[in-house]
Structure 1
Amino acid sequence: MASTFRNLPKVKGRRLFEILNTLPDYGIGRVFTRTSWLSKFPDEPSYIRITSVTVDTEKPNLNGGEVWANRTWRGYRKDGLEVKITAWHKSEWKLIRKSEEADFCAYTPKKEDFHVVPNSIPLPPLLDAMMRQKMEREGDVSEEKLKLKLIINQTYVNRAYQLPES
């Protein structure tokens, strides 16, 4: 049986710290992407904008440390959400030129790409019956429907959102 790794395209690029070490202020504010993101999603830009860099001075050639960035995944960005970049060691990073940044980053996701999630849902029937029995034992008789509050994990990949409670 043939290996599936032979069918993958060759990765071209450099490690993130190799590029960051050549830029002023270690590239803070600059836009980077990975070649795998470009090949998988050519119509939806995925990139990071560097917000802070901590260089490990004990590594040779300063080739390591921590990188924090605002990440845009397939055109979708969570404002104010900073993530630690864990794939800085991969040899597939590409710096977007300043003259090309505006065109590369100019993408508005379609409205149907987002999903509105309710703030609460009715309890499952068995749990509802159990909760009502417990409430009756405690002397609280209420006819209103019991609801389960939903909390959506706010990450850069999650395209779901909740409307504010009214």
Structure 2
Amino acid sequence: MQATCYYQGNPLHPSDVEAGHLQGSVLGPVLFLVSINDLPDALETLSSILQNTSGSSVSQGVISRVLRKREMGRKQPRPIAELAKKVREMWAQQNPVTDSQRFALNYQTMVRPMSGKRLPVRAHDDVRNERRLFQILGGVRMFGIGRLVTRKTWLMLYDEPCYWRITKVKVDHTAQDLDHGKAWGHLTFRGQPEDDAREIPRVMYHDWRLVPRHEEEAFIAYTAPPLAPPLRFVPFPPLLRAVILASWQKEGSPLNQEPMLDLYSVPDYAKGTLEGIYGQWSGRN
């Protein structure tokens, strides 16, 4: 597209300069507006204007800077801000925030000092009555390696046993009471154990409980119920059921059975009519 230059609101062309219309004029940045649709064409147009204009105070460098700013989307460089950002990133790498700082809590106001966020109201009772995972492990021999821990949420929601068996603990020694850190273990969720050990999430939640040793055997005892046979046939939606019954009645087929959708049947949509597809669904074809 051709670049268009404007001078005092009027389109400007190099021929105007050659004809002497702008001889001796001062093309200042305020009066000289450049509308760039195509940067190369604009540069060529402005260069020809500057070459043919005598006495103009607009230099080639000014026009180049205007075009560069236009090309950059008017984004001004901020070297000090970029340097400050790099310094903050370097400080964060040299002095990482520990879990004891990140999850510190004022038990009077229920506000975390570092983030300034207040815990939800429904969590206040658990914060006062329950404990975090490392508050429990800190009072157990070897930080609870080999012991079973569960959560109050699991006990309320599921009848099947849900627990972690601790296999590895990494304590945050910067914490005052050694009540922060990371733990790994084997998860058994709703009676289904996992083979691989992984990091235990949500250790900072106030809903962890330690399973006493004399109750571990009864706690993990679980007999899985027999699996129900997979569901294969389900009723059709009401409207689709009415369409199928109407098609059967039109064909003269007996209506002595309820149309059922076969979940294991994949109709061939590329072949046959709509009634044929219904028949494949219902198992009549």
Shorter-chain TM-score range = 0.5 to 0.7
How much has 1:108 moved relative to structure 2? 2.6
What per-residue deviation string (whole Å, max 9, x for no partner) do you get for residues 2-50 of structure 1?
xxx7789953421000010111110001011100100001x21111110
Q: Residues 44 and 10 from structure 1, CA distance in 2 versus in 1: closer, same or farther, beyond 3 angstroms?
A: farther
In structure 2, the residue matched to 1:39 is 156
Equivalent positions of 1:47-86 (< 5 A) are 47-78=163-194, 80-86=195-201
In structure 1, the residue matched to 2:131 is 14
Q: Determine which of 206, 227, 230 is the counterpart of 1:112.
A: 227
Task: Provide the rounded CA distance (Å) in 2 between the counterparts of 1:7 and 1:90.
Answer: 13
SS at match of 1:100: helix
Question: Greater Rg, structure 1 or structure 2?
Answer: 2
Task: Provide the rounded CA distance (Å) in 2 between the counterparts of 1:27 and 1:110.
Answer: 31
Task: Provide the rounded CA distance (Å) in 2 between the counterparts of 1:23 and 1:108.
Answer: 30
Task: Provide the rounded CA distance (Å) in 2 between the counterparts of 1:102 and 1:77.
Answer: 15
Q: CA RMSD in A?
A: 3.1
Identity over the aligned pairs, expressed in percent?
A: 36
What TM-score do you get using the length of structure 1 for normalisation? 0.60
Higher strand proportion (structure 1 or 2): 1
Q: Which amino acid aligns with 2:143?
A: Y
What per-residue deviation string (whole Å, max 9, x for no partner) do you get for residues 70-90 of structure 1?
111011102x31121111100
Higher helix proportion (structure 1 or 2): 2
What TM-score do you get using the length of structure 2 for normalisation? 0.36
Q: Which amino acid aligns with 1:36?
A: T
Q: Residues 111 and 93 from structure 1, CA distance in 2 versus in 1: closer, same or farther, beyond 3 angstroms?
A: same
SS at match of 1:81: coil
Q: Which has the bigger relative contact order, CA under 8 A and spacing at least 6?
A: 1
In structure 1, the residue matched to 2:258 is none
SS at match of 2:168: strand
**Structure 2 gap segments, 5+ residues each:** 1-119, 231-267, 269-285
Q: Which amino acid aligns with 1:58?
A: T
How much has 1:91 moved relative to structure 2? 0.6
Q: Residues 15 and 7 from structure 1, CA distance in 2 versus in 1: closer, same or farther, beyond 3 angstroms?
A: closer
**Structure 1 gap segments, 5+ residues each:** 116-124, 126-166
